[in-house]
Structure 1
Amino acid sequence: MKCHIKLLLSAMLLWSLPMFGGNGSIQQKPIRKAKTTTHQQAGKNTKAKGPTAEKATENTSSYVDLGLSVKWATCNLGTSAPQYFGSFVSWGSTWSETPEFDWTFYPHTVSKTWITKYCTDPDMGYSPTKGQKGFSDNKTTLEAKDDVATVRLGSPWRMPTQAEFQELVDKCKWTWTILKGTAGYKVVSKKNGKSIFLPAAGYHLEIDHCDVFESGAYWTSSLSKRNNLEAFALYFSKDGYRVFPCERFVGYYIRPVRK
């Protein structure tokens, strides 16, 4: 039930929220709608029954130069083939082994209200060392030690920023398709015609793996300045795709980038 409620909320956000620019300003951009191939959607599972069985590997060394500001890995973090889902984490966490994806187990808060790292709003910040409220560190991009792509793959690999994912949205053609039984988007560069595939791996909320083959959610490394309990992510379904703020505790997937 939680997955279905979250899907409805995500769909509402996808079609109604304004686009936020890198400086926190609102940009009234049109929402991108997807092109669809003649293939049918691969499935409607809402549990973890998708193609996640491949043994995870951190040897992600293959990338595609789409002619953009960064090079994009050919597959998700934690796998070696584009149709597999790979690893999922909450924002700023470097491990997936958590009892639940909720605020209780999120590493950078003491509750849903008080943030201990990546905070620009003193009214939301709390310093555990000083034991007092009013904390802010003004950090808006994940440090290397909190960037799961850098931690697992090493530099120069890292998570994409909000601007880099937005560039992928703006400068590529997105087509909903099926790759070896997995639904997702073929993302083709408008500059050089090269492409990557983003699987519709769903997301992880509390103990559930939700919306497998129906949606995809990928973290950026960028904090939302509007609400520090959120960070920017790419969210998509077969109806459309955009980059917008999402709650930091939810388990999303990672597509690494590098220069």
Structure 2
Amino acid sequence: MILLSFDIEEFDMPFEYGKIISFDEQIAISTAGTGIILALLQKQQVKATFFCTATFALAKPELIKRIITEGHEVASHGYYHSAFEPAHLLSSKLVLEGITGQPVTGYRMARMMPVDEAEIHKAGYLYNSSVNPTWLPGRYNNLKVSRTMFWQSGVLQLPASVSPKLRLPLFWLALHNFPMWFYKYLCHKTYKTDGYLNLYYHPWEFTDLTDKERFGFPGYVGKNSGGAMLERMEELIVSCKQKGLPFGTISKFLEASGVTVEATSIN
């Protein structure tokens, strides 16, 4: 199964590049991008998982409810995107469950940073998708971490997909910068090897990020953003559907794989 996921958050990434953007702008940009994504998913009849911060959800509860109404999954991306403490694991979960009226069983740490698995388990999550098992200069080195699902401290770890052998990352920057034929080749090869794909992106990628004065992003971040990103995402989805590859939420995939909430007690 192909697991598309989108991290919905306050769009605070410009701060990393010395730019200031108001909270209202952060929310507006992520809201616009989420609307574009939902329209594409509805057009292609594809379900996805949305990892959402509690801060964004409280600002746009109607959008979170729309995600659920349209058959997608909502998981936690923490309480704030740029601040974390262990208590946020449970508090973000409770906020999202209060808005969606559904259990929230998945977590992804902001910026794919490390998080204490014992605390994840204590907060009641089934799975954690916070590892990109590759090497990204200046960010992380996870070359020794399993490429595929594994259990740790009672929590199912679902790493982001990387290619076999070379561990080329298939995350958002890859879709922006790799030639489409190469990105699709890597995705299909990885799916054939692993039996699934876990791919993650952000709503703000579907808006124009090329204004360097406003955002401060280097060329490889703004490249193929906005309309070009929408076209690339649709091309990827169509290519996978033509090969008969199914799409689904992470929870549906785990359910089909025989993983349940009760299974967290086995480790």
- With normalisation by structure 1, the TM-score equals 0.26
**Structure with higher helix content:** 2
**Structure with higher strand content:** 1
- With normalisation by structure 2, the TM-score equals 0.26
